[in-house]
Amino acid sequence: MKPTGQILECSESEYRAIRAANYSTLKHANRSAAHMLAAMSPRDATPAMLLGSLVDAMLFSPADLALRFVAAPDVDRRTKAGREQWDAFNAGLSDGCRAIDSETWEKAQRMVDAIRANRTARALLNGHRYQTPMVWVDPDTGVRCKAMCDSVLPGVTVTDLKTTTCADAREFARAAASMAYHMQAAFYCDGWRECTGEELPYTFIVVESAEPHAVAVYRLDDAAIDAGRARYKSALQMFAECTRSGVWPGYADHLQTLELPRWALGGVAMVTADDHPF
């Protein structure tokens, strides 16, 4: 197919300024359009998000690391000397640069080392394009879309790094479903196709945030990608309709009947002397 999108050469701040639908916005469509609209506004990063961003920067853009993050000095701010040192440090920070405590910085470095020590992950990160920004127009809805790929190995795969509490296949599959990672996978792969004409699979490099920072590499199957594509296409349709109308509704505004989950409807089991398990 003839490419209709574009691979960009731009900074992260320039990419963020592009007005377009992205996964971080569209994933909230399952809750409501109002949640999608709220997701478009800048938000404070949680500690987990900050750790993930730091690992990304260390792994994929080390040349720009100092522009985005810096290790904070380990000082006692209860003392006059410590407060003076801390104030001097903050005064020297450039705009957009985040101070990271030493514990988080060291953890991120250990996670990067663990990723590089994994044979499969290391192979996926050789000969790649890092932090690749893309912009395209969805052919079904006409919505302008954007994505920033962590890594692309042309002719092989689009790769995304995920930090998690547990990289075990069963646990990460649950997390992937809950976080709509299959939606992200389909969105990114379709975006890459719109920009290059190349069909690529989607691969996760998953690293645990706690010791021993175990690493796993997974590829989503076709059924997951198809389900993710249906989900993001539905979200884009909602995005297009709300953009046209200027109305971004939340939950239903009529009275609804609430049904409890089946597990909550059972009675309490009573244990008597006759049927005691011991």
pLDDT tens-digit readout, 70-116: 888 777 778 887 777 777 777 767 777 888 888 899 999 999 999 99
The domain made up of 6-247 has a fold known as Lambda Exonuclease; Chain A (3.90.320)
Model confidence band, residue 133 (pLDDT cutoffs 50, 70, 90): very high
Residue 183: burial class (beta carbons within 10 Å; 0-12, 13-18, 19+):
buried
Q: In terms of Cα–Cα distance, which of 181, 194, 180, 185 is closest to 138?
A: 194
Average of per-residue pLDDT across 41-58 = 87
Considering only 3-7, 33-37, 166-170, 204-208, which range has the smallest mean pLDDT? 3-7
Distances (CA, A) of 260 to 250, 264, 266: 21, 6, 11
Residue whose token pair is 């609430």? 258
Average pLDDT taken over every residue of the chain? 88
Q: Is the pLDDT of residue 24 over 90?
A: yes
The per-residue pLDDT for 177 is: 95
What is the structure's pLDDT at 202?
94
* pLDDT of res. 276: 47
Grade residue 138 by pLDDT with cuts at 50, 70 and 90.
very high
Q: How confident is the model at residue 206 (pLDDT cuts 50, 70, 90)?
A: very high
Residue with token string 């709220």: 38
Report for 37-51, 85-99, 234-248: range of highest mean pLDDT = 234-248
Sequence-distant (6+) residues with CB within 8 A of 29 are 35, 36, 234, 235, 238, 239
3-state SS string over the chain? CCCCCEECCCCHHHHHCCCCECHHHHHHHHCCHHHHHHHCCCCCCCHHHHHHHHHHHHHHCHHHHHHHEEECCCCCCCCHHHHHHHHHHHHCCCCCCEEECHHHHHHHHHHHHHHHHCHHHHHHCCCCEEEEEEEEECCCCCCEEEEEEEEEECCCEEEEEEEECCCCHHHHHHHHHHCCHHHHHHHHHHHHHHHHCCCCCEEEEEEECCCCCCEEEEECCHHHHHHHHHHHHHHHHHHHHHHHHCCCCCCCCCCCCCCCCHHHHCCCCCCCCCCCCC
Q: Lowest-confidence range among 110-119, 153-162, 212-221?
A: 153-162
Beta bridge partners of 208: 164
